[in-house]
Amino acid sequence: MIKETQKQLNRIQVLLDCFCIILSVILAWLLRFESGIIDLNGKPLPFSNYFNHTFILVPLFLVLFNKFNMYKPKRLKGIFVEFSNIININIIGIIIYTLILYFSKAVDFSRYFIILFGGFNILLLTAERVTIRLVLRKIRKKGSNLKHIIILGNSEISKGFTGKIQKNKHWGYNIVGIFSDNVNKRNENKIGRKVQTEAEKQVAASIDTLKYQNSMIKDLNNKTNSLSGDFNDFKQYISKNRVDEVFIAIALEEYSKLGELINSCEQNGIRAKIIPDYYKYIPAKPYVEEVDGLPIINIRYVPLDNIMNKLPKRIFDILVSSICLVLASPVLIFTALTIKITSPGPILFKQERVGLNRQKFNMYKFRSMHVQKDEDEKVEWTTKNDPRKTKFGSFIRKTSIDELPQFINVLKGDMSIIGPRPERPYFVDKFKEQIPKYMIKHHVRPGITGWAQVNGFRGDTSIKKRIEHDIYYIENWTFGFDLKIFFMTFVRGFRNAY
């Protein structure tokens, strides 16, 4: 039933996507040639010439949608992931479309039209996806379009996963049972009955761990109003009742039963998913390689290793940096003159930092401190009331104006707009000994602002917390996530700036 519903939803989405693409072509043409907002240079091509290109654009974008898994179930994925994919698809689609125009020598096509089409397409496709999510959320709250699932195991993992399902009703999951061999059941606690209040408390006093597990499973069943039993009860239940998915969240010491549980699911045509007991050691989105039929899990998955992710991020970096340098040019000139007048020494401060793949580069800033010895500058940590700061330097640090020259680093390719903040080699060597995961931040280009900074971890704050946020950003990167951080910077990015 769920599979048929998903197929119907996919058909509707494909039709709506086609409609959005065609409507984007029409709106882009109207705004470019009929609105009078944009000046016309010469006689434009007729509307039919542009509309005929929907026979190129629609198949092209549908292929890209399929490539980016836009028609797969998205119960557990947030809107920012989908928004990021929509932006990536449009950037790639427009590049391919432009190349098609170039090689077909269609030189009379308006460049403004292509840009407007991309803008309208992003807006309409995002609005479509948001609307579908809201409609499905409302339907699921009423008890329709639900997936009936079973959770195996009574570990901390199963408890945490159950809690997430309870908090996110819009995911559309209905827990029909939680089964585990570690439950000490009384005879009356059979399949088809709810867990009794005292059933899980009858555990041998000498086995503390089992007592703890029993209290957990009782709590889970009471909260979810679901069935319980051991793995034999589970096999009996799925052979007689409809279940859409089984989540296996057993403890590591129970993994000898994993094959048997998976086989039971597959014999009954039920999809099985594993929540590994070693999840703390693998990323949120593990990347699996295959070597001669042997699957290998990469401990660190970095989305920005993929050229299809690197490209839109780099385009964004170049465009935004160029625009910011032009718009901020009066501020740049004023700051440079004021530094020159108020304090002896160079206008720009150049400092060695560690960047992508541990490569060193010179990061630029407006000088905000008195000129120091090279040895002191390399090892001194900046504090809130640092006596080395000049009066004007305190102002430009507090307002982050001193960071503006880093847009030059972005254009050079040393840095990105969004990413972990780069550190000096001395502190990199120091922190990597204190914080085991510190060096992971160098898997991507460093940034002017980042996830840690907009969450308050800037300046003299917890390095450990900062790295936790950096790693989260690295492993969960999407273009939409970058945009979120970019806009959050204007509201929350100036905290702890000194």
Predicted confidence at residue 495, as pLDDT, reads 66
| Torsion (CA) 432, 438, 442, 443 in degrees, nearest 10 | 130
The pLDDT, as a whole number, for residue 198 is 44
- pLDDT for res 352: 93
345 secondary structure, DSSP code:
S
Chain centre to alpha carbon of residue 347: 38
Torsion of CA 235, 239, 240, 241, to 10 degrees: 80
pLDDT at 359: 94
CB contact at 8 A, 117 and 24: yes
Residue 154's pLDDT is what?
A: 81
Q: Which CATH superfamily hosts domain 147-281?
A: NAD(P)-binding Rossmann-like Domain (3.40.50.720)
Task: State the Cα–Cα distance between residues 417 and 406, nearest whole angstrom.
Answer: 9
Q: Which two tokens stand for residue 162?
A: 């159950």
Of all helices (H) and strands (E), which one includes residue 23? helix 2-29
Strand partners, 294: 291
Residue 255 confidence (pLDDT) = 87
Range(s) of the chain covered by CATH 3.40.50.720: 147-281
Entry pTM: 0.57
DSSP E strands, 60-212 = 147-152, 173-179
Amino acid letter for position 288: V
Quote the crossing angle between the two packed helices 307-327 and 79-103, to the nearest 10°. 90
Residue-level pLDDT at 381: 59
- Give the per-residue pLDDT at 218: 53
Within 8 A by CB and 6+ apart from 84, the residues are: 478, 479, 480, 481, 482, 483
Torsion region of 112: left, alpha or beta (phi above 0 gives left; psi -120 to 50 gives alpha): alpha
User: Tens of pLDDT along the chain (498 residues)?
Assistant: 455 567 788 889 999 999 999 999 999 999 988 877 766 666 677 888 889 999 999 999 999 999 888 888 777 677 788 888 899 899 999 999 999 988 888 767 788 899 999 999 999 999 999 999 888 888 877 777 788 999 998 878 888 888 888 888 778 888 999 998 865 443 334 444 444 444 444 434 334 444 444 554 455 455 545 577 889 999 999 998 889 999 999 888 888 899 999 999 999 999 999 988 876 677 666 777 778 778 887 777 788 998 989 999 999 999 999 999 999 999 999 999 999 898 888 999 898 999 999 999 999 999 888 777 666 555 565 666 667 778 888 888 888 898 999 999 999 999 999 999 999 999 999 998 888 889 999 999 999 999 999 998 877 678 889 999 999 999 889 888 999 899 999 887 666 554
